[in-house]
Chain A
């Protein structure tokens, strides 16, 4: 991030000076920060509203219900894990949190899931196939409501901020499917299992 940030600014300054736009650059240095503040203020209504509603969902046990519904699916993706085991439970809860857009809840749950996967599988410091699948699942987001995207659309004056909903669902789904498929394809056998060592 440090390099991206510094790089962008330095390149911008060089290009700007070379193309003679130093007045605009100078103005922008100060005005862009202001834009950021205005932006955050304009989306805070929707974000806080949604955080509030999602907290209600969390408290009322909706997470557990959905996680329960997801068990058959997670069971199939993570074949071989103990049915009622901690790993599968943590994975389901993490997926549910992601689904409901609860980034804050999803991350600790995800870490918990990783720890459980680490315990259940012998991995010798290398990522197991299931870990890869799990991480890929997390990096390819599936959210019921793409809150940030929608809120920013609203702030930009869209007449129908959430018209993109079906498109986002399809796009997320495709990216997850392809991601998991590639994970399975490139995974082959777990390195430990393949070499015949390990407690399995």
Chain B
């Protein structure tokens, strides 16, 4: 499993470049265009990340995070989710930068290759910022009545959290 995963990234990378050349795309110039866009995107994330890493960092150092983790521990055990990952699961639907900050904090405390680190990684990679997306998409067409959007969307986020644990145990041996 692990060897296969390592191959995927270079394969996709090479495949796309090959496809581009075959289609007559000026791959180098286009690449730079895309990379510049990536840079701009990072520049946009930076202020939010500074704000949120500071907030989450303070939250962690003050011990408030530990309090919350402690309070949520029974719920986490009930769901078989590691209790340290629960704050990420809760923040994820609410804020992308906030989730990124909590995720970073989990990675630095527990290491990316630990069980907790891996579960957090899978969770971060398999869900999206729910409320923001809802606001943007419905706002664009002026729809006010959301009906069952939020419950359905949250069920997806919830599933991601539970399945993250299962898949890490299955594929990466916990």
Contacts and interface: CB of A to CB of B under 8 A. Distances in A.
A127 B32 contact: no
Given A48-B38, A54-B34, A140 B5 contact: no
A81 to B, nearest CB: 16
Given A55-B33, A60-B20, A179-B156, A152 B104 contact: yes
Contact of B41 (A19, A25, A51, A176): A51
Given A32-B53, A139-B157, A51 B34 contact: yes
Interface string B143-174: 11111110111011101100110011011100
Contacts of A132: 146-149, 152
Contact of A33 (B6, B53, B124, B145): B53
Interface in B55-69: 55-59, 61-64, 67
A175 B140 CA distance: 25
A55 to B, nearest CB: 3
Contacts of A180: 152
Which size bracket describes the interface of A in this complex? 35 or more
Interface of A is mostly: helix
A162 B6 contact: yes
Interface string A137-162: 01111011110111011001111111
A44 B38 CA distance: 8
Contacts of B61: 12, 16, 21, 24-25, 28
A64 B157 CA distance: 29
Contacts of B12: 144-145
B49 A39 contact: yes
Nearest to B151: A186
Interface of A: 1, 4-5, 8-9, 11-16, 19, 21, 24-25, 28-29, 31-33, 35-37, 39-40, 43-44, 47-62, 104, 107, 110-111, 114-115, 117-118, 123, 125-127, 131-132, 134-136, 138-141, 143-146, 148-150, 152-153, 156-168, 170-172, 174-176, 178-180, 182-183, 186-187, 191
Closest 3 A/B residue pairs (Cβ): A55-B34, A146-B125, A51-B38
23 contacts: A1-B98, A5-B51, A16-B62, A33-B54, A36-B46, A55-B33, A115-B141, A127-B147, A135-B134, A135-B138, A139-B128, A139-B134, A149-B122, A156-B104, A156-B112, A166-B1, A166-B171, A167-B118, A167-B167, A172-B160, A175-B127, A179-B159, A182-B151
